[in-house]
Structure 1
Amino acid sequence: MKKYIALLSAFVIGCSTTQTQIPEEKKAKIEEIGEKNAMVLLKTLKGELIKAMSEGGAENALTVCNKKAMELTQQVEKETGVQMKRTTFKYRNPANAPDKYEKEALEYFEKSIKEGKFPKNYIQVVNENGVLTYRYYKPLKVEPICLTCHGEVIDEKLAAKIKSLYPSDKATGYKDGDFRGVVRVSIPADKIQ
């Protein structure tokens, strides 16, 4: 019997499973940890961007995105003890391109939004480097402040700087309230006990 359970676990761990297959008590804990940590990251990044904009405008904020966003994410990961990533299909930084599981989550949100819903989260169970992990995804909407660098119309000088920093940029053309992407929080299964 133990052998059968181990084989079944290995099969499930090798695949992505969705939130419908997670027991409610675990799901509530995953949502609590995921939401809390996603908000810490978002507040940290937004705070730095607002500070940079007030000190030197949008070009200064763009420099923060280019040079500091990944560093700030790593700092928050150390503080919280969970791995995080911002990802989208329309990424600016190639390091933020979605992996196959993140693509599944992004497709879930896009489909739901087309159906007139805006889910508050999405959860998967995946094997990350041999560790059973719950992935919590918090959807992001475009806010007015985002439109300066991600909107349909961008200042020419700023657009030139974006192009120089991100030659393959895909992250423009948004309107206020559009679905922007997700924050993914990876929570090792042993933290959900």
Structure 2
Amino acid sequence: MKRWVLIGLLAAAVPGFAADDASRVAASRAAAKEFMETLKGELQAAMKTGGPTNAIEVCHTKAPAIAREISRAKGFDIGRTSLKTRNPDNAPDAWERKVLEDFEARKRAGADPATLEHHETVTANGKATFRYMKAIPTAELCLNCHGRKLDPKVSATLKRLYPEDQATGFNVGDLRGAFTVAQPL
């Protein structure tokens, strides 16, 4: 509640603040949507040609490449993170962990995970950065690789590619993780 009062005061006192914030949110949403749609298309194609084990290979190789390409094109960092990571390179930083925990609390209170997002400007090491996160709800298709009961071939592929995997045991509608965007200011 206090944060929104401060944002309102800043928007009233600083010319261009609200417009800049709105444009950053829009750019972050667009980047997250582009990442989601591109990755989803790659995963669906992989599922059709080789099933879940093929999709895991796509996540392992193409998802990081997609994130790098969108980050390069947009001029900011985009990725995925979760409280239960598959790839340790995607582990949440302290800010992302706090947002993910807030998303979980809001979901438990009845919020639809598909609507959960958060943004704010933070300062770290003397540098201001606009940060944005958009929740990723678990869909039926996700259960092939993230569910409670996995095919033995899927389990073997996960063990080979992600020996520290924590990203299983999900149900439809669970909060799988979030897209995360950082725009340096």
> Which range, TM-score by smaller chain?
0.7 to 0.9
Q: Which residue pairs with 2:49 in the alignment?
A: 55
Question: Counterpart of 1:160?
Answer: 156
Moved more, 119-128 or 150-159: 119-128
- 1:19 CA displacement: 6.1
Q: Which runs of 5+ in 1 are unaligned?
A: 1-16
For the pair 1:149 / 2:133, whether they are aligned, the reply is no
1:76 corresponding residue in structure 2: 70
How many pairs were matched up? 173
Query: In the TM superposition, what is the alpha-carbon distance from 1:124 to its structure 2 partner?
Result: 2.5
Which deviates more, 106-115 or 119-128? Answer: 119-128
Q: Aligned partner of 2:66: which letter?
A: L
Give the structure 1 partner of residue 90 of structure 2. 96
Displacement after TM superposition at 1:18 (Å)? 5.6
Change (3 A) 1:68 1:91: same
Asked if structure 1 preserves the Cα contact closer than 8 Å seen for 2:118 and 2:132, the reply is yes
Shift of 1:42: 0.7
Aligned-partner SS, 1:22: helix
TM-score when normalising by structure 1: 0.82
CA distance in 1: counterparts of 2:146 and 2:177, whole angstroms: 13
Q: Which has the higher contact order (CA 8 A, sep 6+)?
A: 1
- Cα pair 1:82 1:185 within 8 Å, conserved: yes
Structure 1 contact 18–125 (Cα < 8 Å) conserved:
no
Identity %: 38
Gaps of 5+ in 2: 12-17
* Shift in alpha-carbon separation, 1:138–1:164, aligned structure 2, 3 A: same
- The TM-score, its normalising length taken from structure 2, stands at 0.85
When residues 22 and 148 of structure 1 are mapped into structure 2, their CA distance, relative to the original with a 3 A threshold, is same
Structure 1 residues 129 and 78: CA distance shift in structure 2, 3 A: farther
